[in-house]
Amino acid sequence: MAVRHQLIRRPPRSVWAVLADPSLYGEWVVGPSESAPLDDTWPRVGSRLRYTVRVGPWSTEGVTTVRHQESGRELELEAAFKALGTARIFLQLRPWGEETLVICDEHPLRGLGGALHNPVSEAALQLRHRGMLARLAKVVEQQPDEVLRA
């Protein structure tokens, strides 16, 4: 189970505003080259995003579903990637003074990814999280304050 954290120099409401905006998903999540909401209710439980992952000439699609959320505090997703199965991604936002400590916990849930999970794939998840959380911090910190208060 890969757990990583990132301190973001904005309050939790600002971080949540980015997590709750499906149009920003591709800007902070490492992997997808494109994403689009399948429902108008993101991030309500059961809402989904479709995404495309491209590696050279190869591409495939996946779907991410919200499994749990507490507005402004927690977002738990299940990412389904056809050939590899699914993964659980849990993002928790903790107030840290005027900033936010984001904790990301991810692990394979179903399918081939879970069956093949090992220390090497765990290390790869840690690298992915390092990039993803740094990207999330950058997106949040670059948003104008008035956008994040809406």
Q: What is the pLDDT of residues 105-140, one digit of tens each?
A: 988 888 766 666 667 666 666 667 688 899 999 999
pLDDT band, very low/low/confident/very high, at 60 (cuts 50, 70, 90): confident
Domains of the chain in start order, with CATH, are: 2-149 (3.30.530.20)
Phi, psi dihedrals of residue 2, rounded to the nearest 5°: -90, 120
CB neighbour class for 132 (10 Å; exposed up to 12, middle 13-18, buried from 19)? buried
Q: Are 129 and 136 in contact (CB under 8 A)?
A: no
pLDDT band, very low/low/confident/very high, at 25 (cuts 50, 70, 90): confident
Structure pTM?
0.85
pLDDT band, very low/low/confident/very high, at 94 (cuts 50, 70, 90): very high
CA-angle at 121, arms to 36 and 131, nearest 5°: 50
State mean pLDDT over 21-36: 82
3-state secondary structure 53-98: EEECCEEEEEEEEEEEEECCCEEEEEEEECCCEEEEEEEEEEEECC
